[in-house]
Structures are given as structure tokens and as C-alpha cells.
Amino acid sequence: NAGVTQTPKFQVLKTGQSMTLQCAQDMNHNSMYWYRQDPGMGLRLIYYSASEGTTDKGEVPNGYNVSRLNKREFSLRLESAAPSQTSVYFCATSRAANYGYTFGSGTRLTVV
């Protein structure tokens, strides 16, 4: 009964390195989302996937790519990390608009 699982929980990258943040859900939800959380700015949507095989840009997509591998998994990739991407990243899933989201526990990323 894990819900939404994010890995890793913590990561330190050097500028220019790449990495993939993983998200998996066992809730059978169609919609999945990636947000970043920065102090004083709330959560901002990076990318989302309304269903398997589809992805769309959110408010702050620059510097990121995503893959909806199957219904369960939605990954976020940083091809060339920058210090401005230091943040806490949250994956979330949704059954429908009126249900709200279920969140993972987050990945704290530091780019030095």
C-alpha cells in the first residue's frame, strides 16, 4: 500500500551532470505530475501526464524532460543540471479533478 514512491530521497549533483528522478504509483491513477517546491513560491508545475503515452509542459518546463513509461511510472530527467534547479521535487497522482492529488515524499536535490 505504498501509494506514490519517489527515488532517490536526496541527491547532490555537480553543475552539468545529468540524472533521472523516478516516480511510481500503485493507485491505478491516469494522471501524474511533477512539481518543484521553492521557498516562498509554493509548488510550481514542471510537467504532467494526463494518461499513459501523453505528456505536456507545465509552468516551468525549461531544463527538464519527462517520460511516461507506463501507467505506473513517470520519470523526470535533468540533462545538464544547473544551480537554479536546486529544489525539492514532488511527484503526484490524481484520479480526477475533484479528488485532488496524492503526493510522494519528495526528492531533495542540490546542484553545486
Partner 1 sequence: AQSVTQLGSHVSVSEGALVLLRCNYSSSVPPYLFWYVQYPNQGLQLLLKYTSAATLVKGINGFEAEFKKSETSFHLTTPSAHMSDAAEYFCAVSDSGGKLIFGQGTELSVKP
Q: Which of 11, 19, 22, 58 binds partner 1 (CB under 8 A)?
A: 58
Q: Is 43 one of the binding residues for partner 1 (CB under 8 A)? A: yes
Which amino acid is present at 34?
W
Q: Which of 2, 28, 62, 96 binds partner 1 (CB under 8 A)?
A: 96
Q: Which of 52, 55, 73, 103 binds partner 1 (CB under 8 A)?
A: 103
Residue 81 C-alpha cell reads as 543540471
Strand ranges in 1-112 using DSSP code E only, listed in sequence order = 4-7, 10-13, 19-25, 31-37, 43-49, 56-57, 64-68, 74-78, 87-94, 101-103, 107-111
Interface contacts to partner 1, rule CB under 8 A:
4, 31, 33, 35, 40-45, 48, 50, 58, 90, 92, 94, 96-106
